A and B are shown apart, each in its own frame.
Chain A
Amino acid sequence: MDGYLLLEDGSVYKGKIVGAADRTRGEVVFNTGMTGYQEIMTDPSYRGQIVVMTYPLIGNYGINSEDVESYQPHVQGFVAREFCREPQNWRCEQTVDTYLREKGITGLVGVDTRALTRHLRQQGVMKGIITAEEPAATRAAAWQWTPRDLVREVAVPQPQYFAGEGQHVVLVDCGVKENILRSLRKRGCAVTVVPPWTTAEEILASKPDGVLLSNGPGDPEDLGYLAATVGRLLGKVVIFGICLGHQVLGIALGGKTYKLKFGHRGVNHPVKDLETGRVYITSQNHGYAIDAQSLPATAEVTQLNLNDHTVEGIKHKTLPVFAVQYHPEASPGPDDAAFLFDRFIALMQQERGHKQCQKRAI
């Protein structure tokens, strides 16, 4: 069935509808990763977005039940040049097409995705609709949609506890990727996953060694309540922020965020660690960034994106509080920055040591 991706600036990209046939709408963004489409589709940070894959051959190794980053896919729509009809991999269970159909997600293939990507790069990300209707038939009303509380849609509704021998981490879930949880548990952490509206007092009451602020969808400025919570946690516990968590931490520290023209979505972004001089190739998925100028004197920028010099990492100058804009848990993407979880754990150990010393001193 012929289908179209309509953009709010009036441009139209023709293709064929696959997966579910329903009309869908969302913010249209592109991802430049050549592998990892399944992880991308299930990453809650893509909630509300139509994702365009720049690599033309998608679905080559099919879909399996293991490489998921969440309990369900979250993309609002999925656009590619071609879906593989005969995927091949020892773990492959089904094709992308059947998976999308099963999950009720509309896909569009046969699209000149490079043209589309160039357009988004030049004009910035924008709203879009995938539909089987002729473009002229889509009414203006279709473009009117009310903002959603995306974080609430994907966050865990109730706290969940995962036992572990090591430090206790409270993971504030704004739409956490499974691999963050796996990365902590692999290192022996006990993890309590809590919704973002959990209060600072509730968090502290569970006696965490550290708090991890997760990734998630949407605009960080909408999460004022969480920033306030984080503000109250500062100085009381080790804090590590990832992606949206990084932005929220920035706001909590007194900084501001802004929307990037077309974001960073892919697995090849070079980030320079200003403290060591080392460069990591990182996995990224974000549309907002912290404004370096807005940060107060108590905070400092620790990492920069080498492509556009945006802020990729911050820390508090005196407190055990740090964050990165990218995804150290990778999945998809390189694990160059996986050591940050070890750093988080080391910090928690160090702080626990301090506290014990302090206790003894008292």
Chain B
Amino acid sequence: MPRHSGLQKVMVIGSGPIIIGQAAEFDYAGTQACRALKEEGLEVVLVNSNPATIMTDANIADHVYIEPLTPEFVARIIRKEKPDGLLPTLGGQVGLNIAVELAEQGVLEAESVRLLGTALTSIKRAEDRELFKAMMQEIAEPVPESTIVSDLESALAFAKKIGYPLIVRPAYTLGGTGGGIAYNDEELKATTIKGLKYSIINQVLIERSVAGWKEIEYEVMRDSADNCITVCNMENLDPVGIHTGDSIVVAPSQTLNDKEYQLLRSASLKIIRALGIEGGCNVQYALDPYSEKYYVIEVNPRVSRSSALASKATGYPIAKVATKIAIGYQLDEIPNAVTLKTPACFEPTLDYVVVKFPRWPFDKFSFADRILGTQMKATGEVMAIDRTFEAALLKAIRSLEIGLHGLELPHLQELSLEKIKERLHDAHDERLFVLAEALRRGITIDEIQAITKIDIFFLDKLYNIVQMEQQLQQGENPVVLQEAKRLGFADRTIAAVRKTADEDIARLRKEQGLKPVYKMVDTCAAEFEATTPYYYSTYESEDEVTPTTDRKVLVLGSGPIRIGQGVEFDYCSVHSVWALREMGIESIIINNNPETVSTDFDTSDRLYFEPLTPEDVLNIIEKEQPEGVIVQFGGQTAINLAGPLAKTGVKILGTAVEDIDAAEDRERFDQLLTTLNIPRPAGATVTNAADAVAAAERVGYPVVVRPSYVLGGRAMEIVYNSDDLRYYMETAVQASPDHPVLVDKYMEGKEVEVDAISDGTGVLIPGIMEHIERAGVHSGDSIAVYPPRTLSPATIDTLVDYTERIARELKVKGLINIQYVIYEDQVYVLEVNPRSSRTVPYLSKITGIPMVNIATRICLGETLEKQGYKGGLMPDIHFTAIKVPVFSFAKLLKVDVSLGPEMKSTGEVMGLDTNYSFALYKALLGAGMQIPEKGTVLATIADKDKEEALHILRGFADLGFTLYGTGGTAQYLDKNGLPVKRVAKIDEASPNLLDAIKGGEVQLVINTITKGKEPQRDGFKIRRATVEHSIPCLTSLDTAREMLGVLQTLRQQPHYQLKSLQEYLREGGR
């Protein structure tokens, strides 16, 4: 059946900001969807609040709305744009929920909008626990038996009926406290009693536990003619019990025989048919390792993280095909984009192994609970492809950028055998390395299997790697070296085992003629000729990839999504590739993140799915011989490769490596600023506590301290006195001559950020962004406003002058990002990044200046002038764009939500309006904040902030808010004539302030931190309680003041703009 008739305009809902559990995969899916729709000549309306995405580019959809993803806003956009169809299944859970709500509210019907793809009833059948269970029973597909009980007797009766083990989950507690697994009556009694106590409504859910079973997923597609295919199946290395997003996943399944494979495939087809899904769906199973018994654990009636992975693992573009199906096409009418000759109606077959490895944020959140379970904690993931499992796994580890190159985690060597055994029992982020260490220490595979339930197949593969490490220790042997490379060992790993330099191994390898060959991901295991330029390396005989003789440039990607390096760098890499294409230059990209647009096989002319390490990158350069490499768009990942690549003679396009160093090396940078006569906060580099205290006393407290060798604000703190400074020097960092610590004067001023493009002489500044939070809060966690509102013309002139001079002095060719602080009307430089920054997508979008395109052309030798830009600061736009950070605190227990110099946000949203307060309102709403229009504000304010807070709290009181305060705060407010109710502190008797939060009495918390970062247990508990009850908690008075402004404006004239990005640029631009 061809396309549905009468379809002209289709709305796509995106997934909003990046949070844990919902990352860049939906940018990839949404971008593919929009392109697939436009290919059909359809007009596309896109709604997404996330400005860092490619899908929100003005050229991806015809009407891009960067608005909060709430049913109200989407409904308004529908009323304005009047689309004929709505595609709800490509924007993750967020997009799906909104579509369901709009359908239920009758908005879709009233506006004659057709829900494309999957029907509402299907969505609900998959999403509603009870409906799902009923449907599975109808089609005789097993789901784990479960019941809800409110007394012990019923729990025991259930256990008698279905047996052990059982999972006990208290209803309505957050973070799963009070639950557990019971293996017998005694344990069931204990957990049920505890669970009932923890549950607010005195209920526990009891379910059959299939922990330890194999976890298998299938990606299934179905069209309106009921044709079904499975695109891919995947097996989790970690058995059931760990969220699949936190599991190491292998594609295809490795330990299933054909009977088992087909058993679950047939079940998947039965399920997608019963649900009536038209498009893609993901089915997760638990399979008993000792029988053919299985349970259906979960069904996602939409494109998901797993489907993005499956797309990259197979080359089959699930989102694109799902979109075509949604608008009416049948699978056999859609061509296979990889072979071009065969249709999309087939099942991909792989002739390689794919390993996905999660990237966790525990390097940033040292206090976070690192135990993995049913709540996903990873922010991103990497994928690796090779012809052996071992090599794919080792490539994945190299791709993670966690400082490891093999299966060895150094600090585990110090643990005793008992300790290692003990650590095997917990599933945590380091478990894979613990497994390897256990094998090294001689713990048997069987013993490890008994503890971890990980399949022996996988454990033996790890053992094979460990055995190879041991073989390598026995000295040089060409046969062993070849075998090690085939198993995916990095030169660096081999060098570490042999205690020699990486270069020696590289040389030895080359002398032996050992170099990787490249093979193609073609969906069909070479059965048909394919044209996709999607490659991976392996150590085998035939290299099937022939480089062209055209002009070509290599663009380095940014690897996994992590805090501090998100989807924005993928945006930059992709735009750089597109710019090269425009220039007629062949583009080659290297990246390893399966969630992204950059790793879509038709983004660049050639895609190498490989780790971003010097060895892996150099091998590709040697093969492709590009005229140069662009490193400035792939975040710190790519910048870090500039030095090692340049050292071997590779040409770095854009800013030269020595100039990058001049910006990143503290001493050289200080010299440069001195030469330019540009001030920066006074400071010093120290290597011990005594020097640190001396330095701090010289510049005056408070000071900002951080290790010089890590970037992105890691372990960065503001310290107020010498005691805290000593404590920091002793605990947080191990300072040494090799690892110095920077001590800088902390200037509590206004922070300003500038992104500029330079060709070495001219400097173009698309815009200046002003932060709402004063310096001291990481720029990535600050609310940024463009155009700036409070800067004087003189300050702006200074900022422009400094930016131009720094860019020229550093001979920047391409992008540069500078952070400034304005303190007592003086402009100081805080930091210079000679690369693209987090704000580039945001600024590019709202100013309409294609920053990455211009910068890429500069890298290739074009000047600003030639591109038609004069340089200097561009005039401001006539609307306001505000970027607000988004956090994933609800997913990470034991993490403090207070803002500081260390970045904590996982994503961002943007608010646009001609009115500043409305733009901020939209951005806060888009960030998921429950903005209270009335109710109670609970204030616990540090002494140093009390005076400033008074004005803000008075504002809230004037708007009719009730004020609660703890001891000192209440007293202060009372003394200053504000009506306030004193609430007891946590250590005081109930009812105290925690009870007030839990009881729903409080709608907003303003809590400023007393001193430094030393864990203030009360403050910490208050802040965590707000996260768990979804109450906004403001830890900066700057944010509180702006929130007040928003509330005041909303009272006056509550109607805001609803314009597409294209309309803003047309009307409000310059």
Contact = CB atoms under 8 A, between A and B. Distances in A.
Interface string A64-78: 100100000000000
B824 interface: no
Contacts of B519: 114
B226 A270 contact: no
Contacts of A87: 457
A91 B257 contact: yes
B527 A67 contact: no
Contacts of A38: 257-258
Contact of A306 (B254, B345, B457): B345
Contact of B265 (A30, A278, A331, A334): A334
A33 B527 CA distance: 11
A55 interface: yes
A39 B261 CA distance: 13
Contact of A67 (B225, B259, B351): B259
Contacts of A114: 351, 387, 519, 525-526, 540, 542, 544
22 contacts: A32-B351, A36-B261, A38-B257, A54-B351, A54-B525, A54-B526, A54-B527, A55-B349, A56-B353, A61-B255, A67-B259, A88-B255, A88-B456, A88-B460, A117-B526, A118-B526, A269-B346, A270-B345, A272-B332, A306-B342, A332-B262, A336-B269
Contact of B349 (A32, A61, A88, A112): A32
A346 interface: no
Interface in A204-229: none
Given A67-B257, A84-B457, A56 B544 contact: no
B1047 to A, nearest CB: 58
Interface hub of A39, A91, A118, A279 (most chain B Cβ within 10 A): A279
Chain B at the A interface: SS class: loop
Contacts of B341: 307
A84 to B, nearest CB: 7
A35 B349 contact: no
A157 to B, nearest CB: 29
Nearest to B463: A86
Contacts of B259: 67
A79 to B, nearest CB: 13
A56 B351 contact: yes
A305 to B, nearest CB: 10
Interface in A298-338: 306-307, 330-336
A89 interface: yes
Contacts of B106: none
Smallest CB-CB A-B distances: 4 pairs: A115-B542, A36-B258, A86-B460, A54-B525
Nearest to B542: A115
Nearest to A87: B457
A278 B347 contact: no
B486 to A, nearest CB: 9
Contacts of A278: 225-227
Contacts of A14: 541
B256 A277 contact: no
A90 interface: yes
B347 A281 contact: yes
B152 interface: no
Given A60-B457, A115-B540, A334-B262, A35 B256 contact: yes
Given A112-B540, A279-B331, A89 B257 contact: yes
B342 to A, nearest CB: 5
A36 B229 CA distance: 18
A128 interface: no
Contact of B388 (A82, A118, A306): A82
Contact of A86 (B332, B352, B388, B456): B456
Given A61-B257, A90-B289, A55 B351 contact: yes
A336 B331 CA distance: 16
Contacts of B445: 86
A34 B349 contact: yes
Interface string A33-59: 111101100000000000000111100
A81 B258 contact: no
B455 interface: yes
A112 B342 contact: no
A167 interface: no
Given A114-B519, A115-B542, A306-B346, A32 B332 contact: no
Contact of B266 (A61, A117, A332, A335): A335
B291 interface: yes
B353 A115 contact: no
A205 to B, nearest CB: 38
A39 B256 CA distance: 14
Interface in B245-262: 252-259, 261-262
Interface string A263-303: 00011111010000111010000000000000000000000
Given A55-B349, A57-B353, A32 B289 contact: no
